[in-house]
Amino acid sequence: MAAKDITPLPHHIAFIMDGNGRWAKKRGLPRKAGHAAGTKNILVLIKTLAKYGIKYVTLYSFSTENWNRPNEEIRGILEILGQSIKEELPELHKNGVKLNHIGNLANLPTETAEAITDAIKLTENNSLMTLTLAFDYGGRAEIVNAAKNIVADKIPVEDINEELFESYLYTKNLEDVDLVIRTGGDIRISNFLLWQSAYSEFYFTDVLWPDFNEKEIKKALETFSRRERRYGGV
């Protein structure tokens, strides 16, 4: 099937990019090498999804729980992120990709947070695709944060509904997720976009993230196109 023959296609795809460490271990490399390979694969992903006209892509880059990893690995991930943004931003910007962030920038090193903020500012008027980095993000933390802000704004109880609650989420300017793809073999969502994926389709694969190439993306999109989405109806 060619790109034009796969229908329907999702508007918003979210990725749980799992398997970098195992990819490195299989090759006798340090975990940092796996994270570097996984980061390089992101550009391949974006170029491929652009061919299919996907408008929204969200990447689970670093969870609130990932702070529990060894300090050396955390430093490596943050270093790779900052370097990747600097290296890949010009091409992403040139091709009309808009950068977005969800999560908490306050916990990141100043240089990393500034790199993300500058990228968002530079690309704010782009429209080919919105690429969201979920960095220092957790679904439960997002929901708790929204509840706290609703209370702080003294919203009357009778005015609180799903639409209002969504307006307090990090993703208030994004569409709900149509398809969640998790690589690496695990079958769970790991605190990712709990509210936004209420009616998402899920695609799990044993392929490790650095090996999730154009062929694997096509397989996932073909699987999605065969799903019947009823949203609780018949």
Q: Of 98, 8, 116, 11, which is closest to residue 56 (Cα–Cα)?
A: 11
Residue of 41, 66, 153, 159 marked active site: 66
Strands lying side by side in the sheet with 201-204: 97-102, 129-137, 56-63, 12-16, 179-182, 201-204
The catalytic residue among 18, 20, 136, 178 is: 18
d(CA 23, CA 177): 27
Q: Verify whether residue 153 is a known catalytic residue.
A: no
Active-site residue 211, yes or no? Answer: no
| Alpha carbon distance 56, 196 (integer Å) | 13
Residue 137 identity (one-letter amino acid): Y
Residues 6 or more apart in contact with residue 84 via CB below 8 angstroms = 39, 40, 42
* CA 119 to centroid of chain Cα atoms: 16
Q: Where are the alpha helices (DSSP H) in the chain?
A: 20-26, 31-51, 71-94, 110-122, 139-152, 162-166, 214-225
Angle of the 31-51 helix axis to the 71-94 helix axis, nearest 10: 30
* Active-site residue list: 18, 66
